[in-house]
Structures are given as C-alpha cells and as structure tokens.
Amino acid sequence: AGSRLQHEYVPSAHLSAACTCLAWAPAGARQPPSKDGPQRKKRKSEVGEVDKQLDILAIGTAVGSILLYSTVKGELQSKLDGGHDSRVNCVRWHQDNCCLYSCSDDKHIVEWSTQTCKVKCKWKGDNSSVTCLCISPDGKMLLSAGRTIKLWDLETKEVYRHFTGHATSVSSLMFTTVKPMNESKPFDGITGLYFLSGAIHDRLLSVWYIRSDRKEKNAVMSFTVTDEPTFVDLTVSEVKEEPVKLAVVCRDGQLHLFEHILNGYCKKPLTSNCTIQIATPGNDGDSTPKPVPILAAAFCRDKQSLLLVYGNTLQPIIEKVSLNTSESHVCLVRDIQKVLSLKTDAALTKVKTPVVNSDTKVLVPGIPGHSTAVKTPALGKEKKKNKRKPGETEESIEERLGALDIDVSKVKTPGGLPQTDSFAVLLVQGLESNDAEILNKVLNTRKENIVKNTVARMPIHAVIPLLHELTKRLQGNPYSASVMVRWLKSVFTLHASYLSTLPDLIPQLGMLYQLMESRVKTLQKLSRLHGRLFILVTQVAASQTVQDVPEVNQTAKLVYEDDSSSEEGSDDEMIADKDSDENWDEDEEKEDQSDEQDMTVEKEINGDSDLEPENESEEE
C-alpha cells in the first residue's frame, strides 16, 4: 500500500546463477519439509493464517536449478537440482497436487515433486528451447511454447494439440476462459476454451481456440499493441456474456486495455479500447513533460480497478487506478521527482575545473607534428558569436590550415608508406572494420622486419582475429599463402605465451592445423614429381643441344677418281663407316651411364633409392 520495500532476498550464488523467473506457490500449498529437523506443532489460529498468506516463491536460475524460498521465514527452504542443465525460462505451480513444472533452454520440461524435492518426470518439450508454460484451469493439461505451442496431457505426457505459435519465442501464455461459450455439449475440461499468447519482438497478441478436432491450428483473433509486450494480465471470463479484460504493458512504457467478448473468429487485429501513459508535470524549471514508463499492471479483485507499477525498477511506485474506459487515451500526470528526489547537490561541488596556465603547452592527440596552442578563456569577455560583421571578410581555408600549424613535411614519409607503428594501427583498424583494402595493403608486405615490428606492436586482443584472417587467406591462392606464412611465423614466435593461455586455443586454430596437415601431406609426392620432371627436362634439353649442332656439309667440293684404286677406296669407306658407327655407340653408352647416375642421385634425394637398378633402367 505504501509502495515501500517489504522484503529483500539475494541468493548466495546470484552472480554466477542469476534469477530468471519467479512463481508464487498457491495459497493452500503444503510447505516442503524444511531442513532444520522436526517442526513444532502450530496452533489452530496459526494454521489458518498461513493458509491464507502467500509464502513460498519458486525462483528459476540461469544454471538450471530452482530455489524454493519462504518469505514468511525469510530463508531458503530447498533447492531443486538435477532437472535442467541450462537456463530455466519459466516455472509454474500446479493448483492442487503441489507439483511444480519448469521449462528450460535444454528443450525439456520437468515435473517436480516439492515434497521430496526430486524430479517426478522429465520429457522433451520441443526441438528448440521451451520458453513458457501454462496449466489449464482443471489442472489436467499443460500448455508449453518455444515458438510453436503444444498442449500436453499431463497423465500420459503426450501432445494433445498443436498450434502454429509465433515467429519468435513466446514470452506469455494464459487461459482467458474457464468454461466454453457453447454450453450445449458436455464439457471435457479443455475443449472450447480460449487462451492467449504473446512473443518477444511481436506486436500482436494471439488468441487460440481449443477445438474438438485437430484440423485448425491458427489463431482465431489477435490484439495489436504499439510495441513488444513485456507484462500481460487479464480477468478470466467465467460467464458466457462476460467480456475478457486484458491489460498489456509494452516495452515503450504504455499500457493498453482491451475489453472483448470471445465468440469465435475475427479476421482483423483488434485495437485497444484505452491507452494509459504517465508523464511528469512540465512546471518547475523543466518545461517539457517527460514520459514515465509503466513497468507492470494487474487487475484488482473487483475487475474494475488496476494496480499500476511505474517509475524505475530500483524504486518503483505502486498505485491503484480506477478504470474509466470511455476515453480512448488517458495520460496521468505524476510528479515522481518529489518521490524519488536523489540528492545531487553534494556531488557537484567535488568536480574541479582544471586551471590552465598561459605558459603550459598542451599536447593534442592527432597527427604527429600537430600541435595547437590552447587559448585560456579570458574572464569578463562575452562568448564570441559566430556571426560576422558586415564589413569583415571570411578567412580562406588556406589561412585556416595555416593557423592549425600542421607541419606537412613531417607527416608524409618517403614513398608515402606508413611506418610500422601506423602499420599496426592500420592492421587493427582493418581487422575491426573488416576492410579488405586496408588488410591487403598491410598483409602484402614482404619485408621481414616490418612484419615482425607490426606483429610486436599490435595489441593482444587483435591476435586471434589476425589468425582467423590469415587462415582465411591461406585457403586462397598459393602465391598469397607464401606471404601469409611469414605473418603466421612472427605471430607464433612473438605471441606464443599469450596463445598458450587461451582455454579454447585448439578450436580456434583447428582450421589452421588442418590446412597445414593437408599441405604437408602433398609435400613428399610433390618433391618426387619435381625430381622426375627435373630429369625429363634435363633430357629434353640435352637432346635439343645435340639437335642444335649445325650439320657439316658432307658433299665433297672436289672428287678425284682413280680407276685402279676405286675398289680399295670403297673398302676404306666401309671401314671408316664401321668406325664411326662404333664411336657413336660408345658415345650413347656414356650418355646413358651419366643419365643413370643423375637418376640415382635424384632418387636418393627424394628418398626413392629403394628401387632396384634393373627397374631404373627399365624406367629409363
């Protein structure tokens, strides 16, 4: 009533396991046995009080455990472990049998027994994470939603109905009716009921109708709001003619109220009957009213008034507002400055203004060789206005640049190439902005010392992105790979100590390992091929040199024939022919031997000497 903080509980592991969802146990729920031994007997009056008061709160955490906390005792009752191994997205209590249902990012739904604090049943709810649950009014069915919505039979744990759901993950699910509108047919506890769903980043809240057949899976109607719904509350329609009242708080801080009788299919999305906003009065000092975000809203028991929660989450203000839905737009003016007056006067005096002396030279960040004198503001003088007097001429850009005192000769380096320190800066910029032009400029340098200095001067956080970039480029053409290997070498030699501290180093460098292995595998085969090609090329070259010798003209310039010695001459010619033939054979043998020697030397180099000599000659 006074919107004061009544009770605060911080779980011991709140940093490692943040709270993700909450649910109050129903008022009549039996408490789980506490850890501190046998309980003392309660007096009758005490039992009555406890039954009326909400006490136990189920808190889901980011690591998958659920805490049961007693607000009356102010202590943790028990911890439910072993059900989920990922973030708990939603917890729901069963109305009657003191069960607790929870769903998680690990795709499972778990039914807990709060008496034994153990898992009763666990089943897979969806192919992706399950984000929301809702138990049917009779307690026999359970709605679960990731993106699609499923209705489960709690006895058999089988899907009873499927619904299309939303494109994004569902954030709210609730039943809007307790009894079917058509009362002629016997009621089986679920058929004929309507339920509502809202999803993140979705401005439409959908209403679904549970039919007796399985054919229809789409929404029967939808409500449209201005932004993603963050908090939804509704009054359940119990009588046939009673409209459902719906209060939806959006991310933009507005509250939309809908009032509609659910009676079948409606094609167009329904707009809100009334929108409520809260703003500050625009009087004292600040003339513009500022919007105050509404954080949550809930209907009171009489269904005619609303509890609004607004302001900031650290110190919210809770207020009861009666509904007047005749106006379509209501803006409540609330001065939250008076309620949340944070004292800021004391802090302002601690801020010191620096005293600037006229003799000091102030160094300005920017281009090297760029220094500007900081002028101390003269007291008493009015601020210089930008407007020129009519007689004055505007300074030219050249004069302005001269006034800036930038020494251009110092800035430019010979050849226009940046120095290694700016290379490191360029490299980091290129990696962050993924700019191919900058990266090509830097990574295509071949000078060893520039590569080394650049890698040495680059910041540590850029090492892994650089490795990824190098890996990507190594997969490209072999020419660039030979340049990238130099960078890799210097990265590994200079930053080995940093890389060895990374826990996920192996997956980070996995691609690189594979690349290297595949390259090294082909090395031996390539070197063999290189040897064989070398022999072939040398042989081809040798045969070409033989062919290239200019042929001597064999025809005699002068022939003297003697009748008497003609026979002898023919004999002589025969002998000479034979001679030259033999010589030719010898020459060929010599060449063969030398080639064979070449071959064996090549083979030995390539580790191929295990071939037998006969095979070699055959190959030749």
Note the pLDDT tens digit of each residue in 50-64.
445 678 899 999 999
CA separation for the pair 264, 220 (Å, rounded): 7
Question: Mean pLDDT in the chain?
Answer: 78
Mean pLDDT over 184-197 rounds to 84
CA separation for the pair 403, 324 (Å, rounded): 67
The pair of structure tokens assigned to 414 is 């010979």
The pair of structure tokens assigned to 317 is 């203000």
Residue 608 neighbours by CB distance under 10 Å: 16
Residue 120 neighbours by CB distance under 10 Å: 14
Question: Of 200, 194, 151, which Cα lies nearest the Cα of 172?
Answer: 200
Question: Of 314, 318, 313, 270, which Cα lies nearest the Cα of 297?
Answer: 318
DSSP assignment string, 514-567: HHHHHHHHHHHHHHHHHHHHHHHHHHHHHHHHHHHSPPP--S-S-----STTHH
Question: Of 281, 330, 286, which Cα lies nearest the Cα of 308?
Answer: 330
pTM of the shown model? 0.53
DSSP state of 416: G
How many CA atoms lie within 13 Å of 457's alpha carbon, on the beta-carbon side?
A: 16
Exposed e or buried b per residue across 237-260, where buried means at least 16 C-beta atoms within 10 angstroms of its C-beta: beeeeeebbbbbbbbebbbbbbeb
Query: What percentage of the chain has pLDDT greater than the value 90?
Result: 25
Residue found by looking up tokens 């290297």 in the block: 516
- List, edge to edge, every strand of the sheet that includes 118-124: 88-93, 99-104, 108-113, 118-124
Report phi then psi at 80, rounded to 5. Answer: -100, 115
Question: Of 272, 269, 270, which Cα lies nearest the Cα of 255?
Answer: 272
Query: What percentage of the chain has pLDDT greater than the value 70?
Result: 74
Res 592: pLDDT: 57
pLDDT (tens digit, 9 = 90+) per residue, 243-260? 889 999 999 999 999 988
DSSP state of 414: G
CA separation for the pair 455, 445 (Å, rounded): 12
62 contact partners, CB below 8 Å, separation of at least 6? 17, 18, 19, 20, 87, 88
Q: Is the pLDDT of residue 609 over 50?
A: no
The pair of structure tokens assigned to 547 is 């062919």
Determine how β-strand 294-299 pairs with β-strand 170-175.
Answer: unpaired
Which of 162 and 98 is assigned the larger pLDDT?
162
Res 368: pLDDT: 55
The pair of structure tokens assigned to 312 is 């900031």
CA separation for the pair 207, 217 (Å, rounded): 11
CA separation for the pair 195, 206 (Å, rounded): 8
Res 122: pLDDT: 93
Cβ-count burial of 204 within 10 angstroms (0-12 exposed, 13-18 middle, 19+ buried)?
middle
Report phi then psi at 71, rounded to 5. Answer: -75, -25
Which of 2 and 569 is assigned the larger pLDDT?
2
pLDDT (tens digit, 9 = 90+) per residue, 279-337? 888 776 666 888 889 999 999 888 888 999 998 888 888 998 887 767 888 888 888 76
Instruction: Assess contact for 298 and 216: CB atoms under 8 A.
Output: no
Beta bridge partners of 335: none
Mean pLDDT over 223-233 rounds to 92
Instruction: Assess contact for 164 and 146: CB atoms under 8 A.
Output: no
* Listed range (65-74, 191-200, 400-409, 463-472) with the worst mean pLDDT: 400-409
pLDDT (tens digit, 9 = 90+) per residue, 575-585? 555 555 555 55
CA separation for the pair 445, 448 (Å, rounded): 8
Res 588: pLDDT: 56
CA separation for the pair 529, 518 (Å, rounded): 17
Question: Of 126, 201, 199, which Cα lies nearest the Cα of 162?
Answer: 126
Instruction: Assess contact for 270 and 224: CB atoms under 8 A.
Output: yes
* Cα–Cα separations (whole angstroms), residue 569 to 179, 557, 564, 565, 573: 135, 17, 10, 6, 6
Cβ-count burial of 109 within 10 angstroms (0-12 exposed, 13-18 middle, 19+ buried)?
buried
Q: Is the pLDDT of residue 268 over 80?
A: yes
Residue 355 neighbours by CB distance under 10 Å: 7
Res 539: pLDDT: 92
Cα 252 vs. chain centroid, distance in angstroms?
25
Res 519: pLDDT: 82
Report phi then psi at 354, rounded to 5. Answer: -70, 140
Question: Of 253, 257, 177, 183, which Cα lies nearest the Cα of 220?
Answer: 177
Banded pLDDT at 45 (limits 50, 70, 90): very low
Reduce the secondary structure of 455-508 to three states and give it as a string: HHHCCHHHHHHHHHHHHHHHCCCHHHHHHHHHHHHHHHHHCHHHHHCCCCHHHH
Res 384: pLDDT: 45
Beta bridge partners of 426: none
* Listed range (124-128, 380-384, 600-604) with the worst mean pLDDT: 380-384
Q: Is the pLDDT of residue 600 over 80?
A: no
Single-letter amino acid, residue 298:
A
Longest dimension (CA), the chain: 161
Question: Of 345, 341, 355, 298, which Cα lies nearest the Cα of 321?
Answer: 298
